[in-house]
A and B are shown apart, each in its own frame.
Chain A
Amino acid sequence: MKRLGTLAGLLFLFSIPLWLGNFYLLHVLIITGIFIIAAMSLNLLLGYTGQLSLGHAAFFGIGAYVSSLASLGFAVHLLPDWLVTLDPQPVWLGMACAIVITGLCGFAIGKVAFKVRGAYFVIVTISFAEVVRLVALNWDELTQGPMALNNIPPLSVVIPGLVDITFVGKPANYYLVLVFAILTYAIIARLVRSRAGRAMIALKENEALAASVGIDVTKYLVLAAVVSAAAAGAAGALYAHYVRIVDPNVFLFIYTVTMVIMVVAGGKGTLAGPVVGGVIFGLLPEGLRSLAIAPEVQWIVYGVLMILVVYLLPQGIVPALRAYRQRSRSLEPQDAPGANASARQAMP
């Protein structure tokens, strides 16, 4: 039953480009999908280990830059008379580099979090993102600074004699993002339902108790940071090869905030939360734009809706729906008022 529902949902998602004639809407879906991947990766850190990374856009941006630079090639002086050059590489290799390098950045951040938790971790991640943004802005020779990297090639997969696809155009990119999103979801789902995920949850819930039963909390925090950063890096690389231009604005704080909103509104610490939050807050601006109201009003409505969701459903949309379903189910067999009370008590 549950499997059928998942299958139907996936079929629906795969069918969208077949009947959606509007390419602009498809573009919005692609961008939303990329942000959902980033939000899912943030959720692994924020929702499962309980550590708020407010520099998540840094991993996204590093992924975008690494993949772009590797596929464009570069020549840069690391010392005045030491020139490092890289010829343009295949795009898939660039994306692989992006995933590996952001993973390493996640490793470094996770190690730093060895001693700093909570508020200090937040500060470390914000500083990290800001430093990376300033580097991207000022290292003209490598990143072109504010002039941006452009003419980034699209992803193409060539296996001689078998496959030769170049991901240009909306439908192709839609499928690419969809496949990456499903992969990310599956990896995170498997991780959190295992020993590793239980260790992360233990760290979030009660670090002292987790250590007392032998959980090496630092190790699992680093693991979460690596997987999270690598997935965000993959999202950034997808973004770069889709819009095919990258400037230092990808590191802006607002992108991190968008990811946090998606995770928190959808329900942190649930697998479906970032997806639901991402769909709602990714598509909402477009939905409001179609209402023919002034742009300022659109953003005010967006803000008010956001506050309402957080105010009315502090746990997020997915946990609220789950609790509602549980309550109505426990009401079905015996509609005594006592059943209602006990269901309410069971809610955290």
Chain B
Amino acid sequence: MRGASARVALAVEGLSIRFGGLTAVESMSFDVKEGEVVSLIGPNGAGKTSAFNAITGYLPAADGEITYRGKRLNGLKANRIAELGVVRTFQKTSVFAGQTVLDNILIGLHLRSRQYPIAIILRFPFVAREERELAEEAHEILRFVGIDAHASELASALPYGELRLLEVAIALAAKPTLLLLDEPVSGMNPTETANFMKTLARIRERDITVLLVEHDMKIVMGVSDRVVCLNQGRIIAEGAPAHIQRDAEVIRAYLGERYARAQD
């Protein structure tokens, strides 16, 4: 765990999300410091993905404040939030399926590109130069996650493990400073999961702060600096992985009353 003095990057305060009469998340508060890897865990329906959606502008927050590096994210459109460096992946596999793997990354590089319509139509010299640079950068990102060999294949033709890596690569192309990963290893086999952990470690080396939603406890306990555990829309525990593993409330949420009592 990095020094407690590190600056707060993402701050969530009193966040509530409601769907009609149903409260999905209730006054949730936590923060993520610069350079940290924080995991959000909890049983299905605990409100993890809803919190993700609110932070990244896909759901309106009924109440509460979300700030990133001092900027308020509430009410901003998803693409504006991405411009601030907060980029996410999706729980359900989400790529541009009809495009090649390389084109997927080129789309992801949107914010890195400076072309504007008139320059494109009149073919200003910098446009072609930029296109070459973007292609080079796209290959570099593909090499980083290890799927450059598939660059010219259609995304829909990729095997599952590579597909999930492509999702992360698209997000990385947007040059995040805070990367939110929603169940990145779900459906991966153990080898793929182990490889993904290595990739995650290298993402960290690039000074990218990571907020992770994951069910795979091996990953959560292996990579997180801190873990936030949710149940039924509320935070029930927060702390270092080792601390969370022993928390009675967490065990009760996951395994039920009997197991919690057995631990006491």
List chain A positions with a Cβ less than 8 A from chain B.
187, 190-191, 194-196, 198-199, 201-202, 205-206, 208-217, 223, 227, 345-346, 348
The answer, yes or no, to whether B103 is at the interface (CB within 8 Å) is yes
CB within 8 Å of A: which B178-198 residues: none
Check A198–B107 contact: CB distance below 8 A: yes
| Residue in chain B with minimal CB distance to A223 | B117
Q: Knowing A190-B120, A196-B117, A214-B82 touch, does A202 contact B107 (C-beta < 8 A)?
A: yes
| Residue in chain B with minimal CB distance to A227 | B117
Check A195–B82 contact: CB distance below 8 A: no
The answer, yes or no, to whether B56 is at the interface (CB within 8 Å) is yes
Pick the contact of A214 from B83, B96, B120, B154 — CB < 8 Å?
A: B83
19 A-B pairs (CB sep. < 8 Å):
A190-B120, A194-B120, A195-B115, A195-B120, A201-B99, A206-B95, A208-B78, A209-B94, A210-B79, A212-B79, A213-B108, A213-B171, A214-B79, A214-B82, A214-B111, A215-B110, A216-B77, A346-B154, A346-B157
Measured CA separation A211–B120 after assembly (Å): 22
- Taken residue by residue from 79 to 96, chain B's Cβ proximity to chain A (1 for < 8 Å, 0 otherwise) reads as 100110001111000111
Measured CA separation A212–B120 after assembly (Å): 24
Check A212–B110 contact: CB distance below 8 A: no
Q: Knowing A198-B107, A198-B110 touch, does A213 contact B170 (C-beta < 8 A)?
A: yes
Check A194–B131 contact: CB distance below 8 A: yes
Check A195–B110 contact: CB distance below 8 A: yes
Pick the contact of B78 from A195, A199, A202, A211 — CB < 8 Å?
A: A211
**Chain B CB within 10 A, most for which of A187, A210, A213:** A213
Check B107–A211 contact: CB distance below 8 A: no
Measured CA separation A223–B58 after assembly (Å): 24
Check B82–A191 contact: CB distance below 8 A: no
Pick the contact of A206 from B78, B96, B103, B154 — CB < 8 Å?
A: B96
Measured CA separation A195–B113 after assembly (Å): 7
Main secondary structure, interface of A, reads helix
| Residue in chain B with minimal CB distance to A213 | B174
CB within 8 Å of A: which B118-147 residues: 120-121, 123, 127, 131
Measured CA separation A227–B121 after assembly (Å): 11
Name the B residues within 8 Å of A194 (CB-CB): 115, 120, 127, 131
**Chain B CB within 10 A, most for which of A195, A206, A215, A223:** A195
| Residue in chain A with minimal CB distance to B94 | A209
Check B90–A208 contact: CB distance below 8 A: yes
CB within 8 Å of A: which B16-40 residues: none
Check B95–A348 contact: CB distance below 8 A: no
Name the B residues within 8 Å of A216 (CB-CB): 77, 79
Measured CA separation A206–B117 after assembly (Å): 22
Check B56–A213 contact: CB distance below 8 A: no
Measured CA separation A265–B77 after assembly (Å): 37
B177 CB, min distance to chain A CBs, angstroms: 13
Measured CA separation A191–B127 after assembly (Å): 11
Pick the contact of A212 from B87, B99, B123, B157 — CB < 8 Å?
A: B87
Measured CA separation A240–B116 after assembly (Å): 32
Check A214–B95 contact: CB distance below 8 A: no
Pick the contact of B106 from A191, A198, A206, A209 — CB < 8 Å?
A: A198
Check A211–B79 contact: CB distance below 8 A: yes
Check A211–B110 contact: CB distance below 8 A: no
| Residue in chain A with minimal CB distance to B128 | A194
